[in-house]
Amino acid sequence: MTVGVVLTSTSTVPGIDTTVELAKEAQEAGLRSAWFAQTFGYDAASLAAIVGREAPGLQVGTSAIPVFGRHPLLVSSQAQTAQAATHGRFHLGLALGTKHLTEDGFGIPYERPIARLREFLTALRPLVATGSADFHGELLTATTPLPAKVPGADPPVPLLVAAMGPQALRVTGELADGTLPLLAGPRAIAEHIVPVITAAAAAAGRPAPRIVAFVPGVVTADAEAVRETATEAFAFYERIPSYQRVIELSGATRAADLAVIGDEETVAAEVRRYREAGATEVVFTATGLGGEADRHRTWKLLGELAR
């Protein structure tokens, strides 16, 4: 099973040179993938392309670029450029985003998100595959009067969606290659995510979808203190309806309850639980949990599990 790490999150964004060094360290530890959050600062796809060039043993991906405020033609250009730069190791993660960030940040209404996701993926799929599109929907139009295929952008960029609700999962299973759930524990993955997305993919004649579980976690000797930090760090998600739902479906009451915190044996056991629940890949995100010594311990363990 592939095991990876998030190198930039919405709360932790080191400089580019530092990020590259962290990626090289992750690769040396045996980790297989590095992921980058989209913020209002760095462009996640560009950062993934840079890191993928500097650390050629890593798969790289975005987790995740909101579809609101973007257009399939422009996202396709970004994704194909990153794919060509990394020689086929780029994974495009998309998201619905949130009402708050969409309306306050872009000044556009957060309306019909599932319909927008469906149209976005429908237009994007042929763009990354062939460089052409002729899509005219209710919410989006994407046509290519000029060629839009980037040389070397092969194989076609995998499309993943941070989908956790049933409607988003059905669209993702039908039109994308997998999902990127965050704060979805093994119970929610096994009972609510895998069945819905797998059925949708099968009905559409698509391969079994990837389930890339993003898991907050760290190996540490001071689990109690780190748990307190996690409670503060993840409280933001408890105000977002989609996360409220998946936290509850996971059998938890707070987001921090889903953080994997403890010694090597504890963390390894939890990673196995995600795999048994149906996760095809596990990606750890520390989000400021623990110190440097904890990060080294965590990456060492994850590298061993990846082997």
- CA distances to 68, 120, 132, 231, 304 from 123, in Å: 14, 5, 9, 39, 40
Q: Percentage of the chain with pLDDT > 90?
A: 90
Neighbours of 283 (CB within 10 A): 24
1 has pLDDT over 60:
no
* Residue with tokens 């044996």, as numbered in its chain: 265
- Chain-centroid distance of CA 72 in Å reads 18
Q: What is the pLDDT of residues 285-301, one digit of tens each?
A: 987 788 999 999 999 99
What is the band of 88 on the pLDDT scale with cuts at 50, 70, 90?
A: very high
Residue ranges of domains in the chain: 2-306
Q: What is the pLDDT of residues 234-246, one digit of tens each?
A: 998 999 999 999 9
What is the band of 248 on the pLDDT scale with cuts at 50, 70, 90?
A: very high
Q: What is the pLDDT of residues 113-143, one digit of tens each?
A: 999 999 999 999 999 999 999 999 999 999 9
By the 8 A CB rule, do 273 and 187 touch?
A: no
What is the fold of 2-306? TIM Barrel (3.20.20)
CA distance 210 to 92: 13
Q: What is the pLDDT of residues 90-104, one digit of tens each?
A: 999 999 998 888 999
By the 8 A CB rule, do 201 and 209 touch?
A: yes
By the 8 A CB rule, do 81 and 49 touch?
A: yes
